[in-house]
Amino acid sequence: MARLEGKTAVITGAADGIGHAIAEAMAREGAHVFLGDIADKAGEDFAAALRAAGHDADYVHCDVAQEADIARLIDSAVKKTRRLDIMVNNAAIAIGGMPVHEMTDEQWHRLIAVNLTSVFRGCKFALPYMIAQKSGSIINMASAQGHIGLDGWTAYAGAKGAVMAMTRQMAVEFGPMNIRVNSISPGTINTPMNDKLIKEIGGNLAKTWVKMHPLGRIGEPSEVAEAAVYLASDAAGFTTGTDLRVDGGLTAAPRYVPELL
């Protein structure tokens, strides 16, 4: 039996990258998936492809920096399926690669809006439905960067650290209502976000970064999606307040990398 049969899942940032893989995996496991993104053509095409493959999928335009968009995405899922079982707060942007004193207030506020306030709002609008239903699983996308330091990524790391702290807090607060709240911290994953970053930082440094993952490679979006399916499923029924690292060991130990010396 499919692991998410009969469940309704909302996923933000679902048109590409990790969110795309999560939506695909959850649909394959029987969930009705509601995809939110700002890339409307890609999102619509993806939802149509999922439906053509026999899955239940809808696309709703959702800029996670806009409060009303997040509310509309979640409301539309509940209106159509009469339930909300899984909320994946995944969408985020990478603004970084500069020291703190060179980051503008505008860049800071943009990053916090898309990467952190969005998570607050995704939870805020999902929770009333889950409380009424007396069940639910919220999955917030954090990052290895919330665990370790990397030059130039203070704001991004700060937002991801806050995502993990909020996840623990909500797990405590809503556990008694049978709502589980967990986060996932990916290491470097093969997505458009990283294509752009790897091009920006350049060949050798990029290769060194890959080697810093003890497994010797970067991860695939499908590997993060598997973690999300697990956390969303009844198999994780006693798992809440945790951060699941899907990072090839990146945060487990410092690595000796000759190229860095």
Ligand X SMILES: NC(=O)c1ccc[n+]([C@@H]2O[C@H](COP(=O)([O-])OP(=O)(O)OC[C@H]3O[C@@H](n4cnc5c(N)ncnc54)[C@H](O)[C@@H]3O)[C@@H](O)[C@H]2O)c1
At 30, phi and psi to the nearest 5?
100, 0
Is residue 256 annotated as part of the catalytic site, yes or no?
no
- Least Å distance, CB 215 to ligand X, is 14
Residue 16 vs 56, nearer CB to ligand X: 16
Which residue number places its CB atom closest to ligand X? 17
- Least Å distance, CB 187 to ligand X, is 6
- Measured between alpha carbons, how far is 130 from 105 in angstroms, rounded to an integer? 36
- Measured between alpha carbons, how far is 209 from 219 in angstroms, rounded to an integer? 13
Say if residues 250 and 188 touch (Cβ distance below 8 Å): yes
Residue 76 vs 133, nearer CB to ligand X: 76
- Measured between alpha carbons, how far is 187 from 128 in angstroms, rounded to an integer? 32
- Least Å distance, CB 151 to ligand X, is 16
DSSP string, 25-89: HHHHTT-EEEEEES-HHHHHHHHHHHHHTT--EEEEE--TT-HHHHHHHHHHHHHHHS---EEEE
- Measured between alpha carbons, how far is 105 from 107 in angstroms, rounded to an integer? 5
Query: Would you call 148 helix, strand, or coil by DSSP?
Result: coil
Residue 40 vs 234, nearer CB to ligand X: 40
- Least Å distance, CB 91 to ligand X, is 4
Give the binding site for ligand X (CB under 6 A): 12-13, 15-19, 37-39, 62-65, 90-93, 114, 141, 143-144, 186, 188-189, 191-194
Active-site position among 129, 156, 230, 256 = 156
Residue 151 vs 258, nearer CB to ligand X: 151
Query: Would you call 255 helix, strand, or coil by DSSP?
Result: coil
Catalytic positions: 156
